[in-house]
Each structure stands twice: as C-alpha cells, then as structure tokens.
A and B are shown apart, each in its own frame.
Chain A
Amino acid sequence: MTKTYTVKQLEQKANTIREDIIRMLEHAGSGHSAGPLGLADIFTALYFDVLNHDPKRPDWEDRDILLLSNGHCVPVRYATMAEAGYFPKKELLTLRKLGSRLQGHPERLRLPGLESTSGPLGSGLSQAAGIALAMNMDKQFHRHVYVVTGDGELDEGNIWEAIMLTAKYRLSNITAIVDRNNIQIDGPTESVMPLEDLKKKWEAFGWHAIEIDGNDIEAVIDACNMARAITEKPVVILAYTIPGKGVDFMEYDFHWHGTPPNHEQAIKALHELRTLGGKIRSEHE
C-alpha cells in the first residue's frame, strides 16, 4: 500500500474512525467503547502507514500479519478496515447483528482480512509466534507479524508462555503492541492485578521494550519502524493510551470498558469528536 499520508491526515482519519466506532456501538446496543477509542491512533498508524497490505487482496501472500489478541476491541479494527477499503462502510452498522460478517468478537472465517479468531484473552502472541516460526522456516524474511494485546490481558498465563518462546527463538519478525490503558473490567489494572514494572518484566524475559504515547500517531509509526529495524530480539511497544480517547465522559473511566453509548450519549460523543476534528490530542493533555 502506498504510504502517502501526512500525520495531519492520519489524525483526521483516526477521528473519522472514532466517529464510526461510536455509530457502530450505538447501533449495536452492546460492545466495548473504551478500548477501541483508545486504540484508534494505533490502528490508523498500522493500516495507513506501517503494514504492508492490500485491502483488495486480503490474502496477498506477501502481506504483513496483524493479530488482534484482545478481540473485544475489534470495532476499531472493523472501522479501520472499512476506512482502508476492505469492505463498504455501511456494513459497519451490522456489527453484532444476526448474519453479520462483523461478529461481536472477530471470526476469521466470516470476514477476509481478520487473520484469526479471538476473544478469549492471551492467545494472540503465541499464534504470532507460530506464524513467525513458519515465516522463518519458509525464509519469508520480508514479512512481519504485529500483535496487539490489551494490558489486562497480560494477567493470562498463556501470554507469558508465548513471551518466553518468542524470546527463545529470537523471533524479531514479531512486534507486540500492548495497549497500556490501565483499565480492565473490574477496575484499574494495578488494583485488579498489578502489572508494573511492566517494561522491566518484558526486558527480563528477553525482549526489547519501547514506551510511547499510544495516542501519538507519529510516535506509533516511529516505534514500529524502530521495532522492524531491531533484529537481535523481538520488540514490544508499551503504548500508553487513554481509554475512551476523544470522548470526554468516557476517558479514563473503566465503566466504559464493556458498555456502548446510548443514543443521547452517542450524539454528545459525535459532537465532541466533530468539534475537535483532528485536534483531540491537545484537548486533554
């Protein structure tokens, strides 16, 4: 995919994606708000700059692979894929409806381009490891695997099994991006199950860790470029994001983890996003 977007244009795309997320969730009447909104900048960076992919050929054999381990955040992936041209935008309003290709949690067999089926947490990185191992066996050194995980998801043992395996086999063709938004369903991560010192933990397991502002698109792109250039070990990007980013009454509030906006809230959220129009970073810093 040709990379022709300026940072300003990418920020506008992220804002459009946020608006689509709000519309989708309101229409669906259920689903997760905070995570998808927080991840909009990362997904914009991935689909419109970082990934080698082709929306017209989702199974293109030279593409990079993006796995969404925290499947509940899939609205951001659907909205970004539609923005990128994988499928018509009007299909976004079928989210979570009977017969839809846009299942509540992503199902690979239903929608081309999803790469895997996820929802139950903690299994994305190990699938990435299997994919990266196969790429190495087949000498597909031009391809790369990205896996997005939540931070609450790091409570799962499976993911630490995968962290060890990935370091053991020095799978530098994997970049993990942790959505460090500090919330999970029962509350703040550090009260539900403390994760810190998270950077030191990944480093102790043999990874190179980079910390960034995950709502800064330019920082996401830079970190991904750096990750791809590091070949000694796998790289994790600890992306500090604001849950609910862009909608004032959702930001930082863990109650919005698994809740959609109702009609009035959606109107208010869309009004905010439109007013901010691409300048949302400055509003809340």
Chain B
Amino acid sequence: MNGMHLLDITKELQAEPIRKGFGRGLLKAGELDERVVAACADLTDSTQMSLFKGKFPDRFVEIGVAEQNLATVGSGLAAMGKVPFVSSYAAFSPGRNWEQIRTTICLNDRPVKIVGSHAGVSVGPDGATHQMLEDIALMRVLPNMVVIVPGDSTEAEKATLAIAKDGRPTYLRLAREATPIITSVDTPFEIGRAYVFMPGTDVTICTTGTMTYQALLAAEQLYKDGIDAEVVHIPTIKPLDAATILASVRKTGCVITAEEGQAAAGLGGAIAELLGDEYPVPIHRIGMKDRFGESGEPDELLEHFGLDAKHIRLAAHHVTERKK
C-alpha cells in the first residue's frame, strides 16, 4: 500500500497493546546503549518496563508512587549523560508533574523520555480519573518537547528506539488496550515525519495513535460512498510535519482530525493552528469535546464518545459538503 508496507486492514489483524511495543523497544534500546536507564512510579508491569528491569536491574530505579519525583530524578539522571525513560500512567505523568517537566526537563533541556501509558478513554472501566485526555495538549505547548503518539505496538517499538537516540526531551503516549497492528517492520518511522497511509483526493484525515486504524476503516467505507479519503498518520505531533500535511490539504481542500483525547489543543488544535496560519479550509475535529470520560468497556466508550470509524465516516460527509 503506497510504499508504506502496511498490513491489509480488510483482513483479520493481530491486535496488541501499544505499550507492549514500548517494552520491547526499551529492552532493545538498553541493549544497544548502556546510557539508557529507566525509572517507574510503581507501575513497572503495567507500563511494560518490567522487561528492561529484568535484564538491567542496576539501571532501573523504582521511585514509588511519586510522579513529581519521577520526573525530577529523571532530570538528574540525564544531567549525568544518561538517557532516562520514566514511566507511569499518563494521568499521573505528565498529568501531575507538569511543572517539574517544564522547569527541570524542558527549560533545563535534559533529554528525559516521559512515557505516559493508559492514555485515552480506551482505558475503559477505571473511569474518568484514569482516562488521560489532556496530555498531548499539556506536552505540546512546552518548548523543546517532542511529542510522539504511536499507532500500534510495532510503531511504538520503532519510536522507542528512535527517541532513545534523539537528544531532546520527549513525551511518548501509549494506550492500554489491544490495538490492531497495522504497520509492519518495514513501515517507515522517523521522528517529525507524518505518513500518507492511504492516498486520496477528496478529504484529508489526520490521525494519531489508536485512531489511525479507525481512520483506515472509515476510508475503506468512504470509498464505497464515493468519497476518496487520504489518511495521514501523524505519530509525531511535535514537531509537526507541516509539509506533508499541507501538501495533502492543498490537494483535498478539507480536513478531519481524529485522536483519542481532547480535540482542543491536541492534534486537532495543532492542525487547526497550522491551517489557520497557512491554508484555511473546512476542518472537523474528532476527539473528546471539552468533557471527561467515564467507566465502560473500551469499544462502548469509543462509540459513545464518537471516536470510531463510523463517526469519522459521518464527519467526512459533512466536511466535504462544507467545501462546496
């Protein structure tokens, strides 16, 4: 498919939690570079740091339930030339420790890799407190910060290896639930690049994280509806790949954004800012609309909050009407 080496989404796909790819990637990064160290706030298995901890116990720091300390110990480790990965649930890190990240990591320019797992409403039954929706917004406004949201576990593994080699502070956002694996080992991934996962001419669907699979499903259905959608997968929300996005939008003339988080100031915000400055066109942002989640099964919640292929398809009909 378009040189992207994607798997065929019309067939049965394997599914795996995105965080599993992070766990494998961190282990490999640790094997490749002894400067890579890890710290966790009492969620070592959940965030999949246990693989690294098992192999490199002397390079792992158990912080306890203390996310402010997690970020700042990470800053100290980085001060000594380490490449620290610090993990927790996204609701707590970067949810609780934003100021420490701002001052001791971003302003201080220390290459700490903040890994926020269990992001989005698909966390499910744990409910609103644990469904982090504002993390993309919180992290992308920080100068010096790179923001990465992988679309599946295979991409998460590549992203983890890439950020371990990159000298910048980084936020890596992961989801809890099994997500269909749409990319292969040959699918390209570079920090700062967006990828056209499905070419089209009528509408650009900008997606990130778990929503990319939903966008591809929607695009298949839209083709049957007579709308030729282009799916642009955006695993790096900052720095945003403006060239790829603008090239697509200049062709299609309208945009949908889709993310499992607040549509305000997240990916939707980033795209709206870019297009507002460079190329204003009709835009429809799919995401959480200024509200919190609630308990439920992941699939139920995604449907309830309009974060699925069905809603992307509807939005495509609306937004293509608006450009006429």
Contacts and interface: CB of A to CB of B under 8 A. Distances in A.
Interface residues of B, number: 28
B77 A133 contact: yes
Contacts of B82: 134, 137
B129 to A, nearest CB: 19
B131 to A, nearest CB: 24
B64 A126 contact: no
A107 B78 CA distance: 16
Given A118-B103, A134-B81, A165-B63, A109 B73 contact: no
A120 B108 CA distance: 13
Given A117-B108, A137-B37, A127 B75 contact: yes
B73 A137 contact: no
Interface in A138-182: 138, 157-158, 161-162, 164-165, 169
B80 interface: yes
B299 interface: no
A109 B169 CA distance: 15
Given A130-B75, A134-B80, A161 B103 contact: no
A165 B58 contact: no
A150 to B, nearest CB: 16
A277 interface: no
Contact of B79 (A120, A130, A158, A169): A130
A94 interface: no
A136 B306 CA distance: 50
Interface centre among B63, B75, B76, B78 (most CB of A within 10 A): B76
B37 A123 contact: no
Given A129-B76, A130-B76, A130-B78, A162 B69 contact: yes
B209 interface: no
B103 A127 contact: no
Interface in B81-110: 81-82, 84, 99-100, 103-104, 107-109
Contacts of A122: 68
A130 B103 contact: no
B80 A138 contact: yes
Contacts of A108: 108-109
B232 to A, nearest CB: 35
A131 interface: yes
Contact of B72 (A126, A164, A169): A126
B59 interface: yes
B64 A127 contact: no
B107 A107 contact: yes
A253 interface: no
Interface centre among B72, B78, B82 (most CB of A within 10 A): B72
A162 B66 CA distance: 9
A115 interface: yes
B68 A123 contact: yes
Nearest to A145: B76
Contacts of B78: 130
Interface string B43-82: 0000000000000001101011010110011111111111
Given A118-B103, A119-B103, A123-B100, A131 B76 contact: yes
A127 B72 contact: yes
Contact of B108 (A65, A109, A134, A162): A109
Contacts of B80: 130-131, 134-135, 138
A139 B75 CA distance: 19
Given A135-B80, A138-B80, A123 B66 contact: no
A269 interface: no
A133 B80 CA distance: 9
Contact of B73 (A65, A133, A157): A133
B69 A120 contact: no
Interface in A224-283: none
A134 B36 CA distance: 11
Contacts of A65: 79
Nearest to A131: B76
A133 to B, nearest CB: 6
A126 B75 CA distance: 9
A138 B58 CA distance: 10
Contacts of A134: 37, 76-77, 79-82
Interface of B: 37, 58-59, 61, 63-64, 66, 68-69, 72-82, 84, 99-100, 103-104, 107-109
9 contacts: A108-B109, A109-B109, A116-B75, A120-B100, A123-B104, A127-B76, A130-B74, A132-B76, A165-B69
Closest 7 CB pairs of A and B: A130-B76, A134-B80, A126-B72, A161-B69, A161-B66, A127-B76, A117-B108
Given A131-B79, A134-B80, A162-B73, 4 more contacts: A118-B103, A127-B104, A161-B68, A165-B73
